[in-house]
Each structure stands twice: as structure tokens, then as C-alpha cells.
Amino acid sequence: MSQISHDKVEVVIIGSGIAGSTMAAELGEAAFNVLVLEAGPERKLSDMISSQIWSRRLRWAGPEVLETGDLVGAANFAMGWGTGGAGLHWYANWYRLHPDDFRVRSLFGRSLDWPIGYDDLRPWYDHAQSYFGVSGNDDSNAPSGEAYPMPATSMSKQSSAIKPGFDAEGLELTTNTLAINSAPYAGRAGCLLDGWCDAGCPIGALTNPLVLQWPRARKAGVELRHNAYVARIETDPSGSKATGVLYLDEQGRENLQPADIVISACHTIWNARLLLLSTSDKHPDGLGNGSKTLGRYFTSHALTTIHGLFSQETEPHLGVSGANTLCLDGYEDKQPAKGAFGSRAWLVGQAAKPNDLLGTALAKPELYGEALDDYLRNASRHYGNMTVLCEEDSIPENRITLDPSKRDRYGLPQAHVINSLPHANATRSKLAKEEGLRIFKAAGTTDAWAGPRNPMHMMGGTIMGDDASASVTNSFGQVHEVDNLFVAGASLFPTPGAVNPTATLAALVFRTADYIRTHRSEWLP
């Protein structure tokens, strides 16, 4: 089959999600000629149907990922497919990593250090929260930064029911910080608190790429090409320069897209996989893999949800999918007991509908028949929940690899994720679960129980570092061995902390975009 060749662009970005679309808008507005390749179909706001059933169409529908280990299973749920990627169904929880999260190796002799510290990223966090539109109040347990552009949403009935439990435990429960408008902001509506966030927010109160980045990017002349599945990054004969990408279109035809700068802005697994797939005689183990760390140091957050039934009405269907309130009190204590390690954060009062993975019915999977019906009628008025995120150490054994024995629909080796929670983190997770049950019992629940430990968020695999012999990119996401190749996304994180990654992902994108802007002449003819 003949290959289709396209005209060269200055920048080609792989992936149209939050990382890719933000990068595209930034570089487009800086007058770069930018093309974005998206593996999935075109999405419109009208695709954001308020239904847990119908919203499944927004989720990943690309090649399957093989997952093994005791903290896996979230890939297809977490990833998106089509314009905006996971940015169409994300929960908009917006947190900064804490200063100690950047120096875990130095401070505790385990996991890794980042090549940058909190102070390096702080101005980009400040910029990102203004750009995205973040609501929140001051929280003495959160890292310092500029005030949020909007006040927090008010405390829900769910949170009000749970709060006495935190009080009894001596922990401060605060309003949450969310990339959701608590009031009209930047031409977008304020949130109606109807609890449909993870089905997509067509009014744009929860910011998403269709209402924020893509209008800006398109206005700046950025081209977006759908159904373009990038199979490899091409390099010149010296192996030191990326020359473009090879992608497969909807008909399965090979397309060669030349570019001066290549930016891989896929979801975590796919950033690592794409570099692993891009082998050549100069890079037999994949691009950026001279250190043999490509794919390694994959991390997640160990999640446990505490469920409860309260005597008072909690209106669990209302609010936001992310969390109404937050507890970072105690986050700084990474060694809460002997043999336990890691920070933890409580996300409290998540809106819950009856069905889907996070719905009230699956909170009690053992119930069926009349017992299920009775429970759901009670839960629809009296249910409350909160989720703890616990830190996972970055270890080389947890990794993304290619499985040459299994081929995906494009004939490429299947991605394989291996992730098991280190023992000290599992001990920390168990402590958090016990804390959560104490909180719910102290809050006066009539019934309280904990769900199983599951993964949430995916990070690492193309980690940044100062030492080219122990990392894949520098702090700007620039691949060590290929100067005009960048990675954007949570795959860059050397450590995950215990908070949702998108604020940090966005801050890094803005920092990298600024770096590319100010070094333009190094890559463009």
C-alpha cells in the first residue's frame, strides 16, 4: 500500500486531550503552524448526553491494554476517545502537588525526586488556574499560591452530613478546589450542581477542551485531524532529530506527516508506548530509552471509597462528580506509622447516580433482588461517600511494556501495564481506610462500609529528570536524545503525590510551551 505524504508543519501534536489541546492553543497563539492528530472521532458538545449509560461513548475505544498486578483495571475508564480525550469526562478536581512531593527521594530515601521543585512550578500553577477557571477558597493545608479566580461552591448536604466525622477525628474538612465555575466565568456558565460531570458538561461550567482550548486553538489556525492513529515517530539517519510521525487513517492507510517539532501528548500509557514503538537502528529500544527507563516508574493512586447511609437526607444525586469538599489535613505526614508510607487526601461528597462504576448500586455489589431495591430506595436519599487517594512509590518494576506476542487492531504490539502497590503504600492505604470508617461512624451513619482498593490516575513511564542516564526527558519534557521531540502529560511525573494530576499536568504544559516559544529558533529553519 502506498504511503500518503503531507506537507510539513512546524509542530505536530499527538493527542487532543487536555495536554494536547492546551499545548496546541498556546503554540498556535504564539504563531506556530500547528497540527494535532487525534486517534478518535470528532466530538461535539451535543455528544455530552446526561446519562451514565450514554456517556460511555466518550470513553476509550482504542486498542486494548493488557493490565497485570494488584493495582490495575482503570485504563478504559480513565481514558478518552475523540476530540478532547479524557478532558470530556474528567472530574475537574484541581490540586497542586505539595513541595515534599517533588523531593521524596531526598527527604525519605525512596521513590524519586523531580528535577524541579514546587517554586519552579508555582507560577505555572497560578497561570493555569486562571486559564482553566478554578473555584476554591484558601486552605491552610494546601501549597501557597494566588487566590483562586472564583469562590468555592457551597457545602452540600452530603458533606454537611459527613463533616461531624472529620471534626471528631480532629481533621479539617474544607471546600474543594475545582475547575468548575461557581459563578459565570470567562464567558462560560456557572455550575448547576446537577451531578452529571462525568457524562460531560455541555454548558462548559466544568471546563473542557471543547469550550476552552479548542475555540482558542482553532482561532489561532491550529488544524485538528481526527481518526489519525499515530504508530511511530520518525527520526533522521543520525537518530538525533525527529522528522515527523507515521499515522494510520480511518481506512488503515499509512500517512507520513513531517514536522519540525513533534510533541507526544497522549494519555500516560500511550506516550510510553509510542516511544517504545518508535525503534530504529539508532534507537533499538525506543526513543528516549538510552537510560533503559522508558516505560518504567509507572504510578497510580490507591483509591478506597468509604460509603455510608445517613439518617438525614443527603441529596446524593446533586453536586459534582469530583468532590464537594476536601481534607488535606495530614497530607504532609508521609510516614504516619511504622512500615507505612505515603501522603493521602480525602475527596468528600461525590455526586452519585444509581448506575455505573461509581453509582450507588455498585457500592453494594453483593445485593440483588428485593434487597437491592430496598437499598437503592434508601440510598437515593440518604447515601454519602468519600474517597481517599494514597500515594504510590515510584519503582522501576511498575512499568509499561510492549507485548510482541499480542497485536492490536492496527497490527502493533499490545501495550502491557504492570502495576502492584508496594507494601508500605498498601499499609498506608489500609490506615486510611480505617480512618475513613472511623470518620463515617463518628458522623452517625446507620451503615458504613469500605469498597475495594482500586487504581485511579495513571502517571510515569516517560519520567523527567536531570540525569539522562536515569530518565527519559528533561524538566521541559524534551526527550534526552532527540532535541525536537517533547512529551506532555502525566507520564512525565517522577512521583504522583496523592492528589489528582491535572493541575500539575497543565502547569507543566504551560511551562513547556513557554520553553518552546522562547527557543523557537533552535528547531525551526
Partner 1 sequence: MIGRRHFLTRVIPTTFWTSFIMRSLSRNAEAKTVENESYKTLTTTEAETLGAWCAIIVSGAGQAGVARFVDENLAGDQAASLLLLRYLDASDMAGFYRNGISGIEKECQHRFGLSFARANADQRLELVEAAIASKMQVWTNPNPNFFYFISRSDAVDVVYGTQAGFADLNIPYLAHIPPPRPW
Question: Considering beta carbons, is residue 368 or 410 the nearer one to partner 1?
Answer: 368
Instruction: Specify whether the CB–CB gap between 488 and 506 falls below 8 A.
Output: no
Shorter beta-carbon distance to partner 1: residue 404 or 525: 404
Spatial separation of the C-alpha atoms in residues 321 and 193, rounded to whole Å: 9
Q: Of 52 and 130, which CB lies nearer to partner 1 in the complex structure?
A: 52
Q: How far is the CB of 401 from partner 1 (least distance, A)?
A: 16
Assess contact for 23 and 211: CB atoms under 8 A.
no
Residues in contact with partner 1 by the rule CB under 8 A: 40-41, 46, 48-54, 56-57, 59, 61, 64, 67-70, 72-73, 76-77, 81, 192, 194-196, 201-203, 317, 353-357, 359, 361-362, 365-366, 368-373, 376-377, 380-381, 452, 454
Measured CA to CA, the distance from residue 463 to residue 15 in angstroms comes to 18
| The three three-digit cell numbers of residue 265, written as one number | 501528548
**Longest CA span, the chain:** 71
List of residues 6+ apart from 186 with CB closer than 8 A = 133
Kindly tell me which of 193 and 513 has the beta carbon lying closer to partner 1.
193
Which of 266, 463 has the CB closer to partner 1? Answer: 266
Q: Which is nearer to partner 1, 56 or 520 (CB)?
A: 56
CB closer to partner 1 out of 56 and 517:
56
Shortest spacing between CB 313 and partner 1, in angstroms: 11
Q: Using the minimum distance from each CB to partner 1, give the nearer residue, 255 or 360.
A: 360
Q: What is the 3-state secondary structure (H, E, C) of 218-246?
A: HHCCCEEECCCEEEEEEECCCCCCEEEEE
Measured in degrees and rounded to the nearest 5, phi and psi for residue 450 equal -110, 140
Q: How far is the CB of 54 from partner 1 (least distance, A)?
A: 5
CB nearer partner 1, residue 113 or residue 356: 356
CA 299 – CA 114 distance, rounded (Å) = 14
Nearer to partner 1, 39 or 276 (CB): 39
Give the shortest CB-156-to-partner 1 separation in angstroms: 14
Q: Least Å distance between CB 61 and partner 1? A: 4
Task: Indicate the residue among 41 and 336 with the shorter CB distance to partner 1.
Answer: 41
DSSP labels for 75-133?
HHHH-B-STTGGGGT---B--PPPGGGGBHHHHHSSS-B-SS-HHHHHHHHHHHHHHHT
Closest separation in Å from C-beta 408 to partner 1: 10
**What are the residues whose beta carbons fall under 8 Å from the beta carbon of 74, sequence distance 6 or more?**
300, 454, 455, 456, 458
CB of 349 to partner 1, least distance (A): 17
Residue 120: CB minimum distance to partner 1, A: 36
193 Cα distance to chain centroid: 22
Tell me the closest approach of the beta carbon of residue 456 to partner 1, in angstroms. 13
CA atoms within 13 A on the CB side of 161: 27
Structural contact between residues 65 and 49, judged by C-beta atoms closer than 8 angstroms: no
Q: Which is nearer to partner 1, 31 or 192 (CB)?
A: 192
**Closest CB 57 distance from partner 1, rounded Å:** 6
Hey, what's the cell of 457?
490516575
**Phi and psi at residue 7, to the nearest 5°:** -65, 145
Report d(CA 490, CA 63) in Å as an integer.
20
- DSSP for 462-514 reads S-B-S-TTS-SB-TTSBBTT-TTEEE-SGGG-S--TTS-SHHHHHHHHHHHHH
Query: In whole angstroms, what is the distance from residue 319 CA to residue 227 CA?
Result: 35
Cα separation, 425 vs 417, whole angstroms: 19
Residues 289 and 275: beta-carbon distance below 8 Å: yes
Is the Cβ of residue 206 or residue 388 nearer to partner 1 in the bound state?
Answer: 206
Helices (H) and strands (E) in the chain, counts: 11, 18
Cell of 353: 447516580
For the chain, what's the residue count? 525
